[in-house]
Amino acid sequence: MKPLSRFKCHGMPFQIFEPLVSRSLLGIHFQRPSFCSAAAIEWRTGPNIPSANPLINEFSSYCYQWDLANAMKALDSMQKYHIWVDSVTYAELIKCCIARGAVKQGKQVHRHVFSNGYEPKTFLINTLVNMYVKFNMLDEAQALFDQMPERNVVSWTTMIAAYSNSEFSQKALEMLIQMLREGVRPNMYTYSSVLRACKGLFNLAQLHCSIIKVGFESDVFVRSALIDIYSKWGELQAALCVFNEMVTGDLVVWNSIIGGFAQNSDGVEALNLFKIMKRVGFWADQSTLTSVLRACTSLALLELGQQVHVHIIKFDQDLVLSNALLDMYCKCGSLEDANCTFNRMVEKDVISWSTMIIGFAQNGYSKKALESFEAMRFSGTKPNYITILGVMFACSHAGLVEDGQYYFRSMKKLFGIDPGREHYGCMVDLLGRAGKLEEAIKLIHAMEYEPDAVMWRTLLGACRVHRNMDLAECAAKQILKLDPDDAGTYILLSNIYANSQRWEDVAHVRRSMRDGGIKKEPGCSWIEINKQIHAFILGDKSHPQMDEISRQLNKIIWRLKEVGYVPDTNFVLQDLEGEQSESSLLYHSEKLAIVFGIMSLPKRKTVRIRKNLRICGDCHVFAKLLAKMENRRIVIRDPIRYHHFHDGACSCGDYW
DNA sequence: ATAGGGTTAG
C-alpha cells in the first residue's frame, strides 16, 4: 500500500491508502480503511487530473459528464467512507443539479459537504447558495449565507442578485449597504444586479454616481442595466445619454435602448435605433426582434411586422418572440395571420392564450374569444388576471351580460383570482353597454376601490351610446376632477351644454380650458403605404397629394350622398374632435386617410388606419357605407378598439 | 462561482 500525494488534511493525523477495490457490474465495493474515519480530506481532481483513488475517479468523471444518477450513487459511497473531493468537482455536480432542477440531489450534496467536520471552502458554499437561489429557495440561500464564516464579493452578489429579482428587492439595497459597511467592495456583477432594485430616481442617481466613481460605467453589463432601469422609470433621455457615451457596445446594450423606447410606446425612435444598429453591423437576435415587433404593434405597421416575421423564421421557435408576433398581428387587425401563428406555436403559455383571447375580443370576435378561453381551460393552462379581463371584455362587447356576470362572480372560486379595479371597469362597461346605467352606477359605488378616471370614462362611453345627458354630465365632471387635463372630456361636456342651450356653462368650460392651458389634441390618422407612414392631421394640408385626395373625397361623398349618406353634424356626445360644422367634419383625418388608402393600395387590399382619437359617429357611418360601395375591407384602430368595416357593417356593432 | 436585454391590460 502506497500513500497518496495529493490531499489536504484538516488537523488530524492521517494515513491514506487506496481502498481495496473489487468491481462488480454496477456496484463498487470498497473496503473502508478504518484509520481515515473522520479525517476531512480534499482531493484535487478534475477532468485531466486523475486521482489514484478509483472511487474519486468514478465520481469525478460522472460529475463532469453530468451523469447525475451515477454521481449521486458514488457520492453515497464517498459519504460512507468519509471521502471528499475538491470544490471544483462539487461545483460541477451542483451546476448539473441546477440545470436539471434536482432539488433533492442538491440538498444531498449540501449535507455531504458539511458532514463530519468537513469545512467546505467559500467558493463551494457560494455555489450552494447560488443553487438555492436558482431553485427559488431564498430562505435556504439566506440561511446558508448567514452561517458562512467568510463572505466574499461573490457571496454578497449572489444574494443581492437574488433579492433584486424577487419581490423583496428592498432587501437587495439593504444588503448592498451592509456589504459596504463590512468592507467588501462591490464589483460590476454587484452593480449590474442591484440596479434593478432601485426604488426611485433619487436612488438610481446615487447608484449611478457610485458606479461612475469606481469606474464601472463602461462595463457593458452595467451600462445595459443602467439603460434598462432608466427606461423602466420612463427616463428615456437619461437612458439615451448612457447609451450615447458608449464607444464599443454589444448587442444587449442595443437591445436595452431599443426595448426601452419600444416599451415606452415610442415606436418611431425604437425603429430608428434599430435601423442604426443594423447599419453599424449588428445582427438582430430574438430579443431585438421582440422589441421591433412591439414597436410595429404600437404603430400598427402590419407590413413591417410581416417583414420581421420573415426574419424570425430563421430562429428556433421562441415563446416570447412568438407571443410578440401574435400580438402584432392581433393589434394590426390581421386575425387570420394571428390565428395561423397561434396554431403553429409548439409551446403556448398563459400570455399566448391571453393575447389571442384579447385579440379576438378587441377586434369584435367575441364568440371566438370565448371559444379560445374554453380551449385554454381544456389545455390546462391556468388563466391569470389579464386573461379574465379579456374574457369579460369579450362578454361586454357581445352583450353577453349574464356570461360576463358569471365570470366576474366566480373568478375567485374558479381561478383563484380576486377581481381587481379593471374587472370592475369591465363590469361597468358590460352593464352600461346593455343600457343598465343605474346598475353600473350602483356597482361603482359598491366596489371596494375608489373609482378612477378610466372607470368614469367607461361610464361616459355608455352614456354616449344610450344618450343619457344627465349621467354623462356627472361622469364628465368626475373625470375632470381626477384628470383635469383631459381635453376630450372638456369638449364633450361643452357639447352637452351647448346641446341644452346652457351657454353660460359652455362659456365656463371653455374658460377652464383656456385658464388651464388645455389644448385639444388634433385628430390624426396614419396609414402605411409601401413601408412609408403617411400622417393626416385635421386642418393640415401639407400632404403632397392633398389636392387629389380632396378631389377624390368630394367625389366619394357625392356618390355616397346618392345612396343615402347624410353628414351628421349632431354627434353631440360622439364628436371628440369638437368640430361640428359640416365642412370640418368632412375633413376628419380618418376620412382623408381612408381615401388615400383606396387611391394608393391595390384593389382588394384592406385599408388599415390607426387613429389617435376615438372615431366619430359620422366617420363611422361614412366608413360603413364606403366599405360596401367600394367592396373593400377597412380597418380602423382607435386608442381603445378596432373597427372592421365590411359590407356596410362594422365589427363593433356600432358600440364603441 | 456572482451580472445586463424581449411577450398579454390600462
Q: How far is CA A311 from CA A303, A316, A352, in A?
A: 13, 11, 20
Give the CA A258 to C1' B5 distance in Å: 9
Cβ burial of A178 (10 Å; 0-12, 13-18, 19+) is middle
A644 three-class SS: strand
Calculate the CA A484 to chain-centre distance: 29
Show which positions of strand B are touched by protein (CB under 7 A). Answer: 1-10
CA A484 to C1' B3 (Å) is 44
- Name residues 75-104 of chain A with a Cβ under 7 Å from nucleic strand B: 91
Beta pairing class for A28-30 and A21-23: antiparallel
Closest CA to A83 of A129, A21, A130: A21
Question: What tens digit of pLDDT does each residue of A417-443 get?
Answer: 999 999 999 999 999 988 999 999 999
pLDDT mean for each 10 residues of chain A (656 residues)? 29 24 28 33 49 86 95 95 93 96 96 93 97 96 97 98 95 97 97 95 95 96 98 97 93 98 97 97 97 96 94 94 98 94 97 97 92 96 97 91 94 95 94 92 92 90 82 90 86 78 85 84 87 85 91 92 78 46 71 94 92 86 93 89 90 77
Strand B–CB A324 distance below 7 A: yes
* Protein CA at A643 to nucleotide C1' at B8, angstroms: 21
SS3 A341: helix
**Does any strand B atom come closer than 7 Å to the Cβ of A51?**
no
A316 CA to B10 C1' in angstroms comes to 33
pLDDT in the model for residue A50: 60
Residue nearest to nucleotide B6 (CA to C1'): A287
Q: Is the CB of A383 under 7 A from strand B?
A: no
Output the CA–CA distances (angstroms, integers) from residue A528 to A330, A356, A453, A609, A637, in the order listed: 17, 24, 33, 8, 13
Q: What is the pLDDT of residue A585?
A: 67
Domain boundaries, chain A: 8-119, 525-650
Q: Tens digit of pLDDT for each residue in A471-493?
A: 988 999 999 999 888 887 887 77
pLDDT at A646: 92
Q: How much is the pLDDT for A577?
A: 47
| CA A381 and chain centroid, separation | 18
Task: Evaluate the CA torsion angle A541, A546, A551, A555 in order and state its sign.
Answer: negative
Q: Shortest CA distance to A451 belongs to which of A486, A415, A427?
A: A427
CA of A173 to C1' of B3 (A): 16
Enumerate the β-bridge partners of residue A9.
Answer: A41
Q: Give distance CA A141 / C1' B2 (Å).
A: 14
Please check whether strand B approaches the CB of A295 to within 7 Å.
Answer: no
Residue A589 Cβ under 7 A from any strand B atom? no
Query: Could you tell me the distance in Å between the CA of residue A226 and the C1' of nucleotide B4?
Result: 9
Q: Which residue, counting CA atoms, is nearest to the C1' of nucleotide B3?
A: A189
pLDDT number for residue A541 = 85
Which regions of A506-585 does DSSP assign to beta strands (E)?
Answer: 524-529, 532-537
**Is there contact between A126 and strand B, defined as CB under 7 Å from any strand atom?**
yes
Which three cell numbers, joined as nine digits, stand for A183?
468592507
Q: In angstroms, how far is B3 C1' from A200 CA?
A: 21
Q: What is the Cα Rg of chain A in Å? A: 33
- pLDDT confidence of residue A12: 25
Distance A259 CA to B5 C1' (A): 7
Residues (386-405, chain A) with CB within 7 Å of strand B atoms:
386-387, 389-390, 393
Cβ–Cβ under 8 Å, residues A595 and A549: yes
Pairs from A92-95 (Cβ < 8 Å, separation ≥ 24) = A92/A63, A92/A64, A92/A66, A93/A63, A93/A68, A94/A127, A94/A128, A94/A130, A94/A131, A95/A127
pLDDT reported for residue A569: 61
Contact assessment for residue A634 and residue A606, using Cβ atoms and an 8 Å cutoff: yes
H helices of A399-486, in order, are 401-415, 421-433, 437-446, 453-466, 469-482
A188 touches strand B (CB under 7 A): yes
Answer yes or no: are the C-beta atoms of A279 and A253 closer than 8 Å: no
A641 touches strand B (CB under 7 A): no
A318 touches strand B (CB under 7 A): yes
